[in-house]
């Protein structure tokens, strides 16, 4: 890690900086780099501190903190999930987070993470599909065409080789938006009139809807043999997308079981129902797809190690590309014990005159 010389000043990647970075690197390349960075960290899974994220639930949504550390660096993300936000003109998911050094605890990055979450989620989906989906998958059905949709489609194109994306959303405006945004890419994009039409002929079925309820986006009769399911939207207690019977027909792959059992599709199953940890498939310690009729399910909820990898990647890329500014974030008295003196020496009007 290259540390800035002045530890009080912390690199900050604003939303504008993140957009400049993506434009400089190219979104498809960035998604591929993120998939590789996340996979590299999944391959050293055992070196990370892991805990289910800390969730604060309300009737409208959830606010979560996602920490992890590999012993050298520590990362955290603050993220919300508020399905009702869309109707109020706000995003369902918004996030920010940071990285710090474990040796002295000082932060080394603060970053926007709303865009970064969409990119790392898509990169993780593509990484999982690269390991689990049928070889030569070319068609993806994409149910839920909101904020995550285009990132998912492009990551699957870049990392897995998907050529056609079939879109369905209960709100036609969302599908129109995604059609428009994907129109200048290499993907063939088809707007469908139902979920059934969207998944027809697809080898990868992605569900990415937002509703705080046990929804049935895919019922058992909709899921044919041999497909790969990429279930993104069921990521909170009481919020799922797949009918339970689909789960019983699938081989289920998860990020961190203690978190997924609380938040993922498998919250519908018995607490000890067998699942496979994705990192073990990547590390060739467990089987992934073993036969053509097998239904593989990546029950994605989003795990802190993906944010750790993404933050490390964007820190290094932003420092190289100059897409950051420095934030005066850490109070830094010349004598580390004289925090009070530093405050007193700051000659702001009124402050010194205010009785303490
Ligand atoms: P969004 O609100 O922007 O989009 C959701 C879309 O789903 C909307 O267009 C809505 O009309 C559509 N929808 C709702 N119910 C539907 C149904 N029954 N059939 C078809 N379409 C339906 O949300 P987003 O930011 O795209 O996020 C989508 C989901 O992914 C959310 O639930 C979010 O919590 C989740 N998410 C998961 C991860 C992860 O790591 N697994 C990361 C980010 C977001």
| 28-54 residue pLDDT tens | 999 999 999 999 999 999 999 999 999
Going 151 to 215 to 137 to 273, the CA torsion angle's sign is positive
Distance, CA 169 to ligand 1 centroid (Å)? 10
Check residue 349 and give its pLDDT. 64
Write the residue with the smallest CA distance to atom 25 of ligand 1: 147
* CB-based contacts of 164, cutoff 8 Å, min separation 6: 138, 139, 140, 187, 188, 189, 190
Specify the fold of 4-115+306-348. ornithine cyclodeaminase, domain 1 (3.30.1780)
Check residue 353 and give its pLDDT. 57
DSSP for residue 2: P
* CB-based contacts of 228, cutoff 8 Å, min separation 6: 129, 132, 133, 134, 137, 203, 204, 205, 289, 295, 296, 297, 298
Check residue 4 and give its pLDDT. 45
Q: Answer whether 65's CB lies under 8 Å from 41's CB.
A: no
Write the residue with the smallest CA distance to atom 29 of ligand 1: 233
Check residue 207 and give its pLDDT. 98
Active site residue 235: yes
48-82 pLDDT tens trace: 999 999 999 999 899 999 999 999 999 999 999 99
Site to probe by mutation for ligand 1, drawn from 146, 152, 177 as the one with most ligand atoms within 8 Å of Cβ, is 146
Q: Which atom of ligand 1 is nearest to the CA of 303?
A: 40
Q: Is the pLDDT of residue 1 over 50?
A: no
Going 240 to 243 to 247 to 250, the CA torsion angle's sign is negative
Average pLDDT score over residue span 240-261: 98
Q: Considering the chain, what is the average pLDDT of its residues?
A: 95
Site to probe by mutation for ligand 1, drawn from 92, 212, 213 as the one with most ligand atoms within 8 Å of Cβ, is 92
CATH of domain 122-303: 3.40.50.720
Site to probe by mutation for ligand 1, drawn from 34, 52, 124, 208 as the one with most ligand atoms within 8 Å of Cβ, is 208
Q: Is the pLDDT of residue 3 over 60?
A: no
Strands (E), the chain: 9-13, 54-57, 62-69, 73-81, 95-101, 107-112, 139-143, 164-168, 188-191, 204-207, 214-218, 228-231, 240-242, 250-254, 276-277, 295-299, 325-328
Distance, CA 97 to ligand 1 centroid (Å)? 21
266-313 pLDDT tens trace: 999 999 999 999 999 999 999 999 999 999 999 999 999 999 999 999
Confidence of residue 163 (pLDDT cuts 50, 70, 90): very high
Q: Which part of the chain has CATH 3.30.1780.10?
A: 4-115+306-348
Strands (E), 157-213: 164-168, 188-191, 204-207
> What three-state secondary structure class fits 46?
helix
- CA distance between the termini of the chain: 41
Q: Which part of the chain has CATH 3.40.50.720?
A: 122-303
331-352 pLDDT tens trace: 999 999 999 999 988 877 665 5
Q: Which atom of ligand 1 is nearest to the CA of 300?
A: 41
Cα dihedral 81, 83, 88, 91 in deg (nearest 10)? 50
Distance, CA 46 to ligand 1 centroid (Å)? 31
Q: Which residues line ligand 1 (CB under 6 A)?
A: 81, 86, 92-93, 117, 121, 143-148, 169-171, 174, 208-211, 215, 217, 232-233, 235, 300-302
192-229 pLDDT tens trace: 999 999 999 999 999 999 987 999 999 999 999 999 99
Q: Which atom of ligand 1 is nearest to the CA of 234?
A: 32
Check residue 12 and give its pLDDT. 98
Confidence of residue 2 (pLDDT cuts 50, 70, 90): very low
Length, in residues, of the chain: 356
Distance, CA 246 to ligand 1 centroid (Å)? 20
Catalytic annotation, pick one of 235, 245, 299, 332: 235
């Amino acid at each position: 890690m290259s540390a800035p010389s002045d530890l009080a000043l912390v690199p900050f990647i604003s939303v504008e900086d993140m957009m400049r970075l993506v434009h400089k690197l190219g979104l498809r390349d960035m998604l591929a780099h993120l998939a590789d960075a996340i996979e590299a960290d999944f391959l050293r899974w055992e070196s990370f501190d892991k805990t289910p994220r800390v969730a604060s639930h309300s009737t409208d949504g959830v606010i979560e903190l996602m920490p992890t550390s590999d012993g050298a660096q520590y990362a955290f993300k603050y993220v919300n999930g508020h399905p009702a936000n869309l109707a109020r003109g706000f995003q369902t998911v918004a996030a920010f987070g940071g990285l710090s050094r474990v040796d002295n605890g000082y932060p080394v990055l603060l970053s926007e993470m709303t865009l970064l979450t969409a990119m790392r989620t898509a990169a993780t989906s593509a990484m999982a599909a690269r390991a689990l989906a049928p070889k030569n998958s070319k068609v993806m059905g994409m149910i839920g065409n909101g904020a995550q949709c285009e990132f998912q489609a492009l990551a699957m194109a870049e990392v897995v080789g998907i050529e056609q994306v079939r879109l369905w959303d209960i709100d036609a405006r969302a599908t129109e938006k995604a059609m428009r945004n994907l129109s200048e890419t290499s993907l063939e994009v088809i707007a469908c009139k139902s979920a059934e039409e969207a998944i027809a002929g697809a080898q990868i079925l992605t569900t990415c809807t937002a509703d705080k309820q046990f929804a049935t986006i895919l019922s058992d009769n909709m899921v044919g043999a041999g497909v790969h399911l990429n279930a993104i939207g069921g990521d909170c207690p009481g919020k799922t997308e797949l009918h339970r019977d689909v789960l019983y027909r699938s081989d289920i792959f998860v990020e961190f079981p203690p978190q997924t059992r609380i938040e993922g599709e498998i919250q519908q199953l018995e607490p000890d129902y067998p699942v496979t940890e994705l990192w073990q498939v990547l590390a060739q310690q467990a089987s992934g797809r073993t036969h053509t009729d097998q239904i593989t399910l990546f029950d994605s909820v989003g795990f802190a190690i993906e944010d750790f990898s993404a933050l490390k990647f964007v820190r290094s890329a932003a420092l190289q590309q100059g897409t950051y500014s420095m934030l005066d974030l850490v109070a830094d008295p010349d004598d580390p014990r004289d925090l009070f003196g530093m405050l007193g020496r700051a000659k702001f009007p009124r402050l010194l005159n205010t009785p303490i």
